[in-house]
Amino acid sequence: MTSKLNKQFQDLDKKYYLQTFKRYPLTLARAAGSLVWDVEGNEYIDMMGGVAVNSVGHCHPEVVKAIREQAEKLIHISNFYLSEPQVGLSAKLVSISGLDRVFFTNSGAESVEGAIKIARKYSHSIGKGGSIISFENSFHGRTLATIAAGKKEMQKGFEPIPQGFVQVPFNDMEAVINAAGRETAAIIIEPIQGEGGVNIADHKFLKDLRAFCDDLDITLIFDEIQCGMGRTGKMFACEHFGVQPDIMALAKALGGGFPVGAVLSNDKVSSAIAFGDHGTTFGGNPLACAAALASINVIESQNLLQQAEEKGSWIKSHILAFNNPDIKEVRGKGLMMGVEFNFETRELVGKMLENGVLANATAGNVLRLLPALNISYAELEKVMQVLDGSLRAIK
């Protein structure tokens, strides 16, 4: 292909790729920090961050350096053997999370699947059942078990759906109490729902949920795949609520753009797992772990938690200052933000793209903003101008 045009790549994508993504008409060629460029040379500010993946920005020099150096030494081995990056990342995650054990995966869905297996194995070890309670508007992945725990509309056409999953309204303790029983192995929750519209769990609800799980010996799983790793201004969103889960699922930003996930668990539930109960071929490979260690170091050394908190407040105040009657609510924590409108937001996102900003529409009428934690204020100023102008243009 001598010329490089977005339309040409779009046509090839439609010809060869399974048509499961409703893509925007862009083919991105390179990126640095919070900027991306398409194959035609057009520049965009990325407010999606690869859907909360690129928290340290695109191609951060320290992450790139770690990947390059590790790739020259050791890329993949079997988990029958150890590697220095895997041992180092295990110790680091235990240290910063307060949990006791780590299992590495390749994606968020795998992390949730692993969390469910650990919870069920523990529950069976104490003579209880394997039912999982999840919450309405949740999203935990696209595998069969994770869609069983997620939105009902994502289950259509994939029946029979795995059994043993019960769903209740978000932030409804009475519904949890009514749904739980001796067959309940675990309750899984996103402390801040992402795909569901950036919905924040009530502080009291999470506290009560923790106490309830303790009383009934039910495993509490936090899905921090999107809200973890500094996104909310804390390393993990659970820190905002003062609630420690038994199991935490991680992925997305963990690798600084490189695919890697993790299941973190306490000793109580981990003790139920025996040799051979779970496994992975690629999970925890040296290259992925080296990338993750570098990404965590960037978050810590460059004070990105504070930056996320401060920039999130800055964005919220600027959007509220629009005094736009179509804005119903601006919510979120840190740089995990949702702006709810009284109209569907896909057209707004399209208009922002035309003006050089990549953003995301979710839950119908919510504009979701998930930029790099180190995005500059100059870039944010431009984003606010584009958002304001795009709102005026579509109305």
CB atoms within 10 A of CB 20: 7
Provide the pLDDT for residue 2.
56
Provide the pLDDT for residue 257.
98
CB atoms within 10 A of CB 231: 31
- 112, 144 in Cβ contact below 8 A? no
- 329, 302 in Cβ contact below 8 A? no
Q: Are strands 261-265 and 247-250 parallel, antiparallel or unpaired?
A: antiparallel
Q: Is 32 helix (H, G, I), strand (E, B) or coil?
A: strand
Provide the pLDDT for residue 52.
98
Answer whether the bond into residue 169 is a cis peptide, omega within 30°.
no
Residue position matching structure tokens 């920039």:
311
Q: How far apart are CA 305 and CA 310, in angstroms?
A: 9
- 44, 36 in Cβ contact below 8 A? yes
Provide the pLDDT for residue 395.
84
Q: How far apart are CA 247 and CA 242, in angstroms?
A: 15
Q: Give φ, ψ of 198 to 5 degrees.
A: 60, 60
Q: How far apart are CA 388 and CA 361, in angstroms?
A: 16
CB atoms within 10 A of CB 114: 24
User: Quick one: three-class SS letters along 33-92?
Assistant: ECEEEECCCCEEEECCHHHHCCCCCECCHHHHHHHHHHHCCCCCCCCCCCCHHHHHHHHH
Element of type H or E holding 388: helix 377-394
Q: Indicate the length of the chain as a whole number.
A: 395
Q: Which residues pair with 132 in a beta bridge?
A: 165, 186
Provide the pLDDT for residue 4.
86
Q: How is residue 10 written in tokens? A: 């779009």
Q: Which residues contact 376 (CB under 8 A, 6 or more apart)?
A: 33, 34
Q: How far apart are CA 205 and CA 94, in angstroms?
A: 26
| Tens of pLDDT, residue by residue, the chain (395 residues) | 456 899 999 999 999 999 999 999 999 999 999 999 999 999 999 999 999 999 999 999 999 999 999 999 999 999 999 999 999 999 999 999 999 999 999 999 999 999 999 999 999 999 999 999 999 999 999 999 999 999 999 999 999 999 999 999 999 999 999 999 999 999 999 999 999 999 999 999 999 999 999 999 999 999 999 999 999 999 999 999 999 999 999 999 999 999 999 999 999 999 999 999 999 999 999 999 999 999 999 999 999 999 999 999 999 999 999 999 999 999 999 999 999 999 999 999 999 999 999 999 999 999 999 999 999 999 999 999 999 999 999 98
